[in-house]
A and B are shown apart, each in its own frame.
Chain A
Amino acid sequence: DAGVIQSPRHEVTEMGQEVTLRCKPISGHDYLFWYRQTMMRGLELLIYFNNNVPIDDSGMPEDRFSAKMPNASFSTLKIQPSEPRDSAVYFCASSRPGGPNQPQHFGDGTRLSIL
C-alpha cells in the first residue's frame, strides 16, 4: 500500500515568495495532520483535518500560513509571504478512524529553506 505522499521533497526559495506544500494521505484515513519540525522546537502540530474539515488550527503560527483539504485525497499547506524563520521540515501524517488510539503515518517530509 502507498504511504503518505508529500511533495516537493525539498524546496529552496527566497523570502517573500509563496510556498505550497502538498500531501496525499493514505486511502481510507480520515484524519490528516500537518507538522513542522525544527531542532529548537521539535515536532509541532500546525493543523489537523477530520473528514476534510479543519478541526484545530491553533498551532498555525500566523496568518501567513493557511491549509486546505479540498477532498479526501489531497491537502495543501501554503506560506505567503515566506520568511527565513519558516525554514524547517514539514511533515504530513494521516490516521484511520478511531480516535486517539490510532497511530499516525507520516510522509517523508518537505525540507523547506527560505533564504
Chain B
Amino acid sequence: RKEVEQDPGPFNVPEGATVAFNCTYSNSASQSFFWYRQDCRKEPKLLMSVYSSGNEDGRFTAQLNRASQYISLLIRDSKLSDSATYLCVVNEGGGADGLTFGKGTHLIIQP
C-alpha cells in the first residue's frame, strides 16, 4: 500500500521566521517528488519539483533524503501570503498511476 505521510499541523509561525516540514513515503522505488500548495477552498497548484540534489526557488528549498525516505520543504523569511496547506506528492514512476498525495500540512503565518 502506498503511504505518504505528513504532519497535518497547523504550524503557527510568526512572519519573517523560517519554517520547515517533512513528508515521508513508504515506497523506496519512488522516483519523482513534488510539493503542491493549496489555498483554502482552491485547487492544488504546483509549488516545486524536488530533485535528488535538492533545489531552491527563491525563499523555498526542497530536499530529498532517499536513505530515510523523506522530502522536506523549507520556507525562509515567511510571508503572510505563505499561509496555505502544503501537499507532498510522490510518484512511483512508470506512469501517472503511482501518484500519491499526502493529506497536507497546514501552515499559518501570523503577523
Of the candidate stretches A20-28, A40-48, A69-77, A80-88, the one touching chain B is A40-48
Contacts of A34 in B (CB 8 A): none
Q: How far apart sit A108 and B25, CA to CA, in the bound complex (Å)?
A: 27
User: Residues 16-42 of chain B: 1 if any A CB is under 8 Å from the residue's CB, otherwise 0?
Assistant: 000000000000000110100000001
Q: How far apart sit A48 and B46, CA to CA, in the bound complex (Å)?
A: 19
Residue contact B43 to A109, C-beta cutoff 8 Å = yes
Please, which residue of chain B has its CB at the minimum distance from the CB of A102? B96
Residue contact B34 to A55, C-beta cutoff 8 Å = no
Residue contact B97 to A48, C-beta cutoff 8 Å = yes
Residue contact B46 to A108, C-beta cutoff 8 Å = no
Judged by a CB distance under 8 angstroms, whether B45 is at the interface is yes
Residue contact A56 to B104, C-beta cutoff 8 Å = no
Count of chain A to chain B residue pairs whose CB atoms are closer than 8 Å in the complex: 58
Known: A42-B101, A42-B102, A43-B101. A99 touches B42 (CB 8 A): no
**Closest CB in chain B relative to A112 CB, distance in Å:** 14
Residue contact B44 to A91, C-beta cutoff 8 Å = yes
- Chain B: number of interface residues, binned into ranges: 20 to 34
Known: A48-B97, A100-B96. A43 touches B34 (CB 8 A): no
Contacts of B43 in A (CB 8 A): 91, 106-109
Binding site for B on A (CB under 8 A): 31, 33, 41-45, 48, 50, 55-56, 91, 95, 99-101, 103-109
User: Residues 67-111 of chain B: 1 if any A CB is under 8 Å from the residue's CB, otherwise 0?
Assistant: 000000000000000000001000111111111111110000000
Residue contact B45 to A101, C-beta cutoff 8 Å = no
Contacts of A106 in B (CB 8 A): 43-45
Q: How far apart sit A103 and B50, CA to CA, in the bound complex (Å)?
A: 11
**Closest CB in chain A relative to B8 CB, distance in Å:** 10
Q: How far apart sit A105 and B43, CA to CA, in the bound complex (Å)?
A: 9
Residue contact B93 to A100, C-beta cutoff 8 Å = yes
What are 21 A-to-B residue pairs whose CB atoms are below 8 Å? Answer: A31-B96, A33-B96, A42-B101, A42-B104, A43-B44, A43-B87, A44-B101, A45-B101, A48-B97, A50-B96, A55-B97, A99-B94, A100-B31, A100-B91, A100-B95, A100-B99, A101-B91, A103-B49, A104-B46, A105-B46, A108-B42
